[in-house]
Amino acid sequence: MLRLPPFRYHRPDTVDEAVALLARFGEDAMPIAGGTDLMPNMKHRLFTPAHVVSLNRIAAMRGIGTVNGAGPSTDNGRAPRADGLFLRIGALETLSDVSSHPLVRRHCAGLAEAAGLVAGPQLRNMGTIGGNVCLDTRCTYYNQTEFWRDALGYCLKKDGTVCHVTRVGKKCVAAHSADTPPNLIALDATLTLAGPDGTREIPAADFFVTDGIWNTRRKGDEILTEIRIPLMGPHSNGHGPHRRSAYRKLRQRNSIDFPLLSVAVVGDFEQDGTVAGLTGVVSALGARPRVLAGWDEIALGERLGPRVIEALAERARAQCRPLDNVIVDTKWRRAMVPVQVRRALEELAGG
Partner 1 sequence: MEVVRLRVNGDERVCGVPAHYTLLETLRYGLGLTGSKQGCDKGDCGACTVIVDGRAILSCITPVWEAEGREVRTVEGLANGTETHPVQDEFDLNGAAQCGFCTPGILCSSVALLDRNPSPTREEIRTALAGNLCRCTGYEKIYDAVEAAAARLDP
Which residues have a Cβ under 8 Å from the Cβ of 335 and sit 6 or more positions away? none
Write the DSSP symbol of residue 285.
S
- CA 269 to mean position of chain CA atoms: 25
Contact pattern for partner 1 over residues 56 through 95, marking x by CB under 8 A: x---------------------------------------
Euclidean distance between CA atoms 152 and 141, whole angstroms: 9
* HSE-up of residue 34 (Cα within 13 Å, Cβ side): 24
Binding to partner 1 by residue 9, rule CB under 8 A? yes
Which of 21, 52, 133, 261 contacts partner 1 by CB under 8 A? 52
By DSSP bridging, strand 51-54 and strand 8-10 are parallel
Query: Binding to partner 1 (CB under 8 A): which residues in 16-35?
Result: 32, 35
Q: Which stretch binds partner 1 (CB under 8 A): 2-10, 16-24, 81-89, 217-225?
A: 2-10
Query: Binding to partner 1 (CB under 8 A): which residues in 219-278?
Result: 254-256
Pick the closest to residue 186 from 117, 248, 251 (CA basis): 248
Which of 30, 44, 193, 260 contacts partner 1 by CB under 8 A? 44
| Secondary structure (DSSP) of 95-109 | HHHHHH-HHHHHH-H
Contact 288, 209 (CB under 8 A): yes
Binding to partner 1 by residue 100, rule CB under 8 A? no
Euclidean distance between CA atoms 113 and 134, whole angstroms: 19
Minimum distance between the CB of residue 146 and partner 1, rounded to whole angstroms?
12
Between 86 and 258, CB nearer to partner 1 = 258
Minimum distance between the CB of residue 202 and partner 1, rounded to whole angstroms?
28
Contact 107, 233 (CB under 8 A): yes
Binding to partner 1 by residue 214, rule CB under 8 A? no
Which residues have a Cβ under 8 Å from the Cβ of 168 and sit 6 or more positions away? none
Minimum distance between the CB of residue 80 and partner 1, rounded to whole angstroms?
34
Minimum distance between the CB of residue 48 and partner 1, rounded to whole angstroms?
10
- Helix 306-319 vs helix 330-350: crossing angle, to nearest 10: 150
Q: Which stretch binds partner 1 (CB under 8 A): 7-15, 200-208, 211-219, 333-341?
A: 7-15
Minimum distance between the CB of residue 302 and partner 1, rounded to whole angstroms?
36
Q: Which stretch binds partner 1 (CB under 8 A): 6-14, 76-84, 226-234, 274-282?
A: 6-14
Which of 96, 137, 190, 283 contacts partner 1 by CB under 8 A? 96
Contact pattern for partner 1 over residues 122 through 141, marking x by CB under 8 A: xx-xx---------------
Between 7 and 154, CB nearer to partner 1 = 7
- With residue 42 as reference, give the H or E element that holds it: helix 38-43
What counts of helices (H) and strands (E) characterise the chain? Answer: 13, 12
Going 217 to 218 to 221 to 222, the CA torsion angle's sign is positive
Contact residues toward partner 1 (CB under 8 A) are 1-9, 11, 32, 35-36, 39-40, 43-44, 52, 54, 56, 96, 119-123, 125-126, 254-256
